[in-house]
Structure 1
Amino acid sequence: MSPWRLLLTRPDEDCAALAQYLAAQGVANASLPLLAIEPVALDAPRRELLATLAACRAIIVVSKPAARLLLERLAETGVQPPPAGWFSVGEATAGVLQAAGLEVTFPSQGDDSEALLANPTLRQAVAVPGARVLIVRGVGGRELLAERLGEQGASVEYLELYRRRLPEYPPGTLMRCIEAERLNGLVVSSGQGLEHLRQLAGVDWPQVAGLTLFVPSPRVAEQARAAGARQVVDCRGASAAALLAAVQRSAAPAS
């Protein structure tokens, strides 16, 4: 049995799957979702972007919620997605799209923006001057992808299909959970998840910041340290396997 006892903070469905995976590997955990997914209306500009998918050199889907909602919106509008030209930041997101019969490229090492930007297939796709790239995401996030691709000459647009919000919890919920479950580590899957963790902690943040914090990328690790987190572990990916590997190579604090 692992000495780690982790707090999982992903959206409900993802928390449940991750909790089961970690428990099967002997890692105790508790769930407190910090990201609620709210679909946004499919207005005229979004419909237009859907209708022109085939004109894109690359369609980058950044998360599982984005992938699920995109497939739903395509079914609703009757738009047939192109079979190729699809990219994702991680394997789990790719799996959602692959289940719908789409050919998806994703990084073999690391599941973050930096790893995808280094992917040779994506580099080739955007090598054409003015290559059109569509990033499918929630409202805000993954600006690095657009910045770097723009620097390479690509024309980048966003299709934003959902918002993330912090679910409503009574004051003190986070510390009560940490103490009741005797947790010694926290897991966040994005920069916004980190910000929601800080919001929920409130006046308890200095104490919470002393716990080991597992994050998915160097960018989020930098944000966490800047916010005062004192023990940050970069998992170099948001997948369950990346988290487990980071947990297994990290020494748990003495109880």
Structure 2
Amino acid sequence: MGWRLLLTRPSEECEALAATLAEQQVFSSSLPLLAIEPLEETPEQRGVILDLDRYCAVVVVSKPAARLGLELLDRYWPQPPAGQRWFSVGAATGAVLDAYGLHAAWPGNGDDSEALLALSAFSDALAVPDPKVLIMRGEGGREFLAERLRGQGVAVDYLELYRRCLPEYPVGTLLQRVESEHLNGLVISSGQGLENLQRLAGDAWSELAGLTLFVPSPRVAEQAALAGAKNVVDCRGASAAALLAALRQYPAPAP
């Protein structure tokens, strides 16, 4: 039967991933568990973007942050500040920045803050007097990167551009989808995606926890194991390529 996967990313990302999987003859079914709600522009946001040239590096943590951040950039800067370095935590977000012409850099061996901190180009960008970093992200994201940078004497500011929420579905939607389409794998792209998966599953989580769960990083893998997931596969990245590599490495369970 092969892999039959449930995709849980925001709807646009589900569509793109489903198309890539279909090209490789992998069946998928989309049930977005993260909806992106842009935040209204505030005077604080405006102040940060107007002072963009104060930062030696800008880190963008997701594709929604990239899209919304570039909209602000367009609004207030005829062209980006000269000499500023842009970074992302993954290739998909970096591609959005590159398409804009920012020549972003990102780690090639992982899609998380830990991999970014190990990137030599990122260390080089911080090798200036009084380094300041701006992190573009969603509301209430991880603090790990900022904490590590502040521990190294780097000033860090946030530009929060959106919030993530769980779309509304009727009770039982998740289990019904898995059973009716004979799905044998679940794909999540973040810790919040895992939390929303559990919330939507409700009492059915104990049953669904036996399915293979594909996650993007060791951190989320540990979170999933603590939540009771029995078969966790760390894809070492959130990209379609990372997922496909994991699918090739781990054969689908027998029907």
**TM-score normalized with structure 2 length:** 0.96
The percentage of aligned residue pairs carrying the same residue is: 62
For 1:82 and 1:199, locate their aligned partners in 2 and report how far apart those are by CA, in whole Å. Answer: 43
Q: How many residues align?
A: 254
1:119 CA displacement: 0.2
Range with bigger deviation, 140-149 or 152-161: 140-149
- Give the corresponding residue for 2:235: 235
SS in 1 for 2:100: coil
1:108 CA displacement: 1.9
- Give the corresponding residue for 1:118: 118
* 1:214-229 paired onto structure 2 within 5 Å: 214-229=214-229
- Give the corresponding residue for 1:23: 22
* Preserved contact between residue 129 and residue 153 of structure 1 (Cα < 8 Å): no
- Give the corresponding residue for 2:5: 6
- Give the corresponding residue for 2:33: 34
* Preserved contact between residue 4 and residue 27 of structure 1 (Cα < 8 Å): yes
Instruction: Give the letter for the 1:75 counterpart.
Output: D
* Preserved contact between residue 129 and residue 154 of structure 1 (Cα < 8 Å): no
For 1:44 and 1:137, locate their aligned partners in 2 and report how far apart those are by CA, in whole Å. Answer: 17
Instruction: Give the letter for the 1:50 counterpart.
Output: I
For 1:60 and 1:239, locate their aligned partners in 2 and report how far apart those are by CA, in whole Å. Answer: 18
**1:204-248 Cα distance to aligned partner (Å, 9 max, x none):** 010111111000001111110111111100001000000110111
- Give the corresponding residue for 1:51: 50
Structure 1 residue ranges (4+ consecutive) displaced by more than 6 angstroms after TM superposition: none
- Give the corresponding residue for 1:86: 86
1:72 aligns with 2:71: yes
RMSD of the alignment, in Å? Answer: 1.3
For 1:21 and 1:225, locate their aligned partners in 2 and report how far apart those are by CA, in whole Å. Answer: 28
Instruction: Give the letter for the 2:80 counterpart.
Output: P
1:130 CA displacement: 3.5
* Preserved contact between residue 50 and residue 79 of structure 1 (Cα < 8 Å): no
1:74 CA displacement: 2.0
> Structure 1 residues 140, 210: CA separation in 2 closer, same or farther (over 3 Å shift)?
same
For 1:37 and 1:77, locate their aligned partners in 2 and report how far apart those are by CA, in whole Å. Answer: 23
For 2:78 and 2:130, locate their aligned partners in 1 and report how far apart those are by CA, in whole Å. Answer: 24
SS in 2 for 1:221: helix
For 1:111 and 1:198, locate their aligned partners in 2 and report how far apart those are by CA, in whole Å. Answer: 23
Please, which runs of 5 or more residues in structure 2 have no aligned partner?
none
1:251 CA displacement: 2.3
**1:155-195 Cα distance to aligned partner (Å, 9 max, x none):** 11110000000000000000010011100000000010010
- Give the corresponding residue for 2:209: 209
For 1:127 and 1:221, locate their aligned partners in 2 and report how far apart those are by CA, in whole Å. Answer: 33
1:152 aligns with 2:190: no
SS in 2 for 1:99: helix
* 1:155-194 paired onto structure 2 within 5 Å: 155-194=155-194
1:78 CA displacement: 4.4
Instruction: Give the letter for the 2:243 counterpart.
Output: L
SS in 2 for 1:105: coil
For 2:87 and 2:67, locate their aligned partners in 1 and report how far apart those are by CA, in whole Å. Answer: 14
For 2:175 and 2:68, locate their aligned partners in 1 and report how far apart those are by CA, in whole Å. Answer: 33
For 1:234 and 1:15, locate their aligned partners in 2 and report how far apart those are by CA, in whole Å. Answer: 19
For 1:17 and 1:103, locate their aligned partners in 2 and report how far apart those are by CA, in whole Å. Answer: 23
For 1:212 and 1:11, locate their aligned partners in 2 and report how far apart those are by CA, in whole Å. Answer: 20
SS in 2 for 1:186: strand
1:75 CA displacement: 2.2
Range with bigger deviation, 223-232 or 71-80: 71-80
